[in-house]
Homo-oligomer: A and B are copies of this chain.
Amino acid sequence: MDDIIVKYIEKPSLKEPVVVEGLPGVGNVGKLAAEHFKDVTKATKFASMYSKYFPPQVFVEENGVIRLVSNDFYYLKGTKKDQKDIIIIVGDYQGLTPEGQYALSSKMLDVVEEFGVKRIYTLGGYGLGKMIDKPRVLGAATDEDLVHELKKQGVIFSKGEPGSGIVGASGLLLGLGALRGMRCACLMGETSGYFVDPKSARAVLEILSKILKMEISFAELEEKALQIDRITSQLKEIEQVIEPETKGEDLHYIG
């Protein structure tokens, strides 16, 4: 099997779309923000990415039907004059290994490059390890002009933050995107990192709505956060019982 499989539902006709990405990470800020954005804009799924870099797992939907874990691509046509077409990338997991992370981010860029993408916004959380009342949105970008542009929208660029850089897809899409000449930025909402954080996701989306010149409703954001929190807790509870499944009865003595 190919390392990564992309299955298209359709190939939409898009005009220099802007990419918005949010996958699981610190405080699930990026995932929550991007999924909420996808839901309230009623974006249309057009492709799914399956990969051996994800866990070997299917989810079972409420009707008993399974779904192989994936990252998914949605699109949204700009309706107003100065609104861009948008591609939204969300998903169940990030790659399990560093090699998988590089391969998956690179493949995402392959997919969106075909649609003429020149700008990418990745959404994530910036973990502080302590509770925070009014989360700021920190930024990083592939060039100084973009930094200046984002500063005007209220994004904070603070020397030495994040000191350790950005890990995972939200960082790699910038790093690998820059190598392809794309202009990319990461928006990181401050968060404790202890739970799924709707306040931080909202802060990120408020900036994004200014950048994209779109209204975003936050009515169902809290509910969405609770939902992601429930799934996360459930997975953790079941974890110990489930563990042997992938490993077989007696694999634990190897490597």
Chain A contact residues, CB within 8 Å of chain B: 1, 5, 7, 23-26, 28, 31, 50-60, 62-69, 92-99, 101-103, 105-107, 124-125, 127-129, 139-144, 147, 157, 159-172, 174-176, 178-179, 186, 193, 196, 228, 231-232, 234-255
Given known A-B contacts A58-B174, A172-B58, A232 and B250 have beta carbons under 8 A apart: yes
Given known A-B contacts A1-B106, A56-B98, A244 and B65 have beta carbons under 8 A apart: no
Q: Which residues of B contact A59 (CB under 8 A)?
A: 165
Q: Which residues of B contact A103 (CB under 8 A)?
A: 1, 52
Q: Which residues of B contact A231 (CB under 8 A)?
A: 163, 250
Q: Would you call A64 and B242 a contact (CB within 8 A)?
A: no
Docked Cα-Cα span, A107 to B102, in Å, equals: 18
Question: Smallest CB–CB gap between A246 and chain B, Å?
Answer: 5
Docked Cα-Cα span, A28 to B234, in Å, equals: 23
